[in-house]
Amino acid sequence: MTATIVPLPQISPRPRRVAVGSFDGVHLGHRAVIEGADAVLTFDPHPMSVISPSAAPRLLTTLARKAELVGNLGVEELVVIPFDDAFAHEGAQQFIDEVLVGALGATHVSVGENFRFGHKAVGDTDLLHADSRFETRVVPLLELDGEIISSSHIRGLIAGGAIEYAGQLLGNPFVVDGIVSHGEKRGRTLGFPTANLVPEDSYAVPAHGVYACRARTADGVWHPAATSIGVRPQFVTGLGELIEAFLIDFTGDLYDEPLRIEFLKRLRGEKRFESVDALLEQMARDVDEARAFASLPRRP
């Protein structure tokens, strides 16, 4: 189930149990905040891209992926505040009066303990608790193995290639969605035709290397895949960074079609081999390992 995405200006007030936050990644900590809510209130674009663009993080999820993840938690609505400079300058009490109470009709509000809101982030959980028009639930930060689960920590893990641990904190494998683009078709001549995605600067991308993955094609079918991310040091190209997925035992044309890639395990780093033959031998080993790992039962 996918939650319905509703821009805040189009919402109608009704009694709602609302979870509020950016929820980038919808990780295990976010899920504790969302538990029991029937609506999630979030922001698009990410507030930092407006408040301090140079400090804006690479996002873990698109808005569509966020709606899918919160819908899987039983949430009916993903209410989206179009975050712009005007909204960034609204006061904390104004946010409570006009958004939580006025627009949403919130009877219960759930936030993380570090949630701040309003111009210059002056609003906090004490201000929410002080309002008698709704019940406030403040959820402590969640820890795993002694570390606080946060979107920024997960971004760091992904950037460093620790994709398995990132998936544990997310509660799902890390996902990249995209449209298959045309490349140099070199993989086809080597016997490993790949579906190529061009990474977007605003979204997180795993460290350069080769990964065991699953890939979902436009028909909804999942395939084991060996996926390379990098700049192809074996060959001189002008394409820059690419995500190249070899869908194991798949035949067909995927150009210009949507593709989802779930990253399961990092097999090795990116490297240049002594010869193309040595590269092909390693690619065959990568495919065998990816096939074995990706054939394990898939989590929902």
Please confirm whether the linkage preceding 45 is cis (ω < 30° from 0). yes
Q: Along the 300 residues of the chain, how does pLDDT read in single tens digits?
A: 899 999 999 999 999 999 999 999 999 999 999 999 999 999 999 999 999 999 999 999 999 999 999 999 999 999 999 999 999 999 999 999 999 999 999 999 999 999 999 999 999 999 999 999 999 999 999 998 888 999 999 999 999 999 999 999 999 999 999 999 986 655 555 668 999 998 888 999 999 999 999 999 999 999 999 999 997 655 555 557 899 999 998 988 899 999 999 999 999 998 887 778 888 898 999 999 999 988 766 654
Please tell me the distance from the alpha carbon of residue 47 to that of residue 61, in angstroms, as a whole number: 14
Q: Can you give the residue ranges of every domain in the chain?
A: 4-148, 174-294
Q: Which CATH number fits domain 174-294: 3.30.2130.10, 1.25.40.320, 2.40.30.30, 1.10.10.10?
A: 2.40.30.30
User: CA–CA separation, 55 vs 49, rounded Å?
Assistant: 7
The CATH number for 4-148, chosen from 3.20.20.70, 3.30.930.10, 3.40.50.150, 3.40.50.620, is 3.40.50.620
> pTM of the full predicted structure?
0.92
The residues with which 7 forms a beta bridge, in sequence order, are 80
For CA atoms 22, 39, 27, 58, the dihedral sign is: negative
Q: Are 44 and 21 in contact (CB under 8 A)?
A: no
